[in-house]
Amino acid sequence: MNILITGGGKQVYYLCRDLAGKGYKVTVINKDREECRRFSRRLKRITIVCGDPSDPRVLEDAVAGTMDVVLAVTSRDEDNLAIAQLSALRFETKRIYALANDPDNEAVFRALGVPGVFSLTPVMANLIEERVGFPELLNMIPLDEGKVNITEIVLGPKSPVLDKPLRDVALPPDCLVACAIREEAIIVPRGDTALKKGDRIILIAALHVHDQAVACLTGSD
């Protein structure tokens, strides 16, 4: 498989190293001559093209037409969009992934016909908000731009809701304990279901009551 990566920095370096190590044919385009030299000294099995990856002539030099995958991960969104669109329209690349540094550009790229757009900001923000805020939170999926969240919570020993019927738990309105996973069993709780320590529960909560609901279930502030 031929992979074209446009961009630089450590992340791109490690990505190239790993992909080349797995036997993929990797080509990198980078504007910075010094960085190109560094890449070529350290990575033996990749092809390096020094130039502006959004320039159609440079893409031609990098034989962009033979690429199975194009990854546009420069630090500038306008460059990533241009690379993605050139790859699609001029070189007919099938799989194109483009980084939207500004998460707001994710929707813009999609509207402009780049479905393979991704953004790292929400991933990192989620990591921080989940782990630091509530250690019991395993996973949080925002829906409709975060108006509703699906949250996975493990009930620890301090949880105030253990071993009592769910109907007696003072959960706020606009939220629902949709499911509890106890070892292998999937339990859809009813009013008389009692949650137990170690249960992994799936909470669906509107944004305005989310933190309150999580606090109520975990016992943390």
Partner 1 sequence: MPFENSLSIIIVGCGALGSHLAGKLSRLGHGVVAVDLRESAFAGLPEEFTGISLEADAAEPAALKRLPTDTADMLIAATGDDNTNLLVAQTAKTVLGIPRVVARLADVAREEIFRDLDIETVCPARITAKRIIDSLPLGSVREEGEENR
Q: Which residues bind partner 1 (CB under 8 A)?
A: 54-57, 76-79, 81-82, 85-86, 89-90, 102, 104-105, 107-108, 111-112
Q: Are 6 and 82 in contact (CB under 8 A)?
A: no
Question: Which segments of 95-191 are extended strands (E)?
Answer: 95-99, 117-118, 137-143, 148-154, 175-182, 185-187
Query: In whole angstroms, what is the distance from residue 161 CA to residue 195 CA?
Result: 7
Nearer to partner 1, 77 or 199 (CB): 77
Nearer to partner 1, 111 or 185 (CB): 111
Instruction: Please state the closest distance from residue 122 (CB atom) to partner 1, in A.
Output: 15
Nearer to partner 1, 6 or 218 (CB): 6
Instruction: Please state the closest distance from residue 55 (CB atom) to partner 1, in A.
Output: 7
- How far separated are the first and last CA of the chain, in Å rounded? 50
Q: Are 62 and 2 in contact (CB under 8 A)?
A: no
3-state helix, strand, coil in the chain (%, to 5): 35, 30, 35
Closest C-alpha among 189, 185, 199, 152 to residue 167: 189
Closest C-alpha among 176, 183, 187 to residue 198: 183
Instruction: Please state the closest distance from residue 190 (CB atom) to partner 1, in A.
Output: 45
Nearer to partner 1, 7 or 189 (CB): 7
Instruction: Please state the closest distance from residue 54 (CB atom) to partner 1, in A.
Output: 5
Nearer to partner 1, 28 or 84 (CB): 84
Instruction: Please state the closest distance from residue 104 (CB atom) to partner 1, in A.
Output: 4
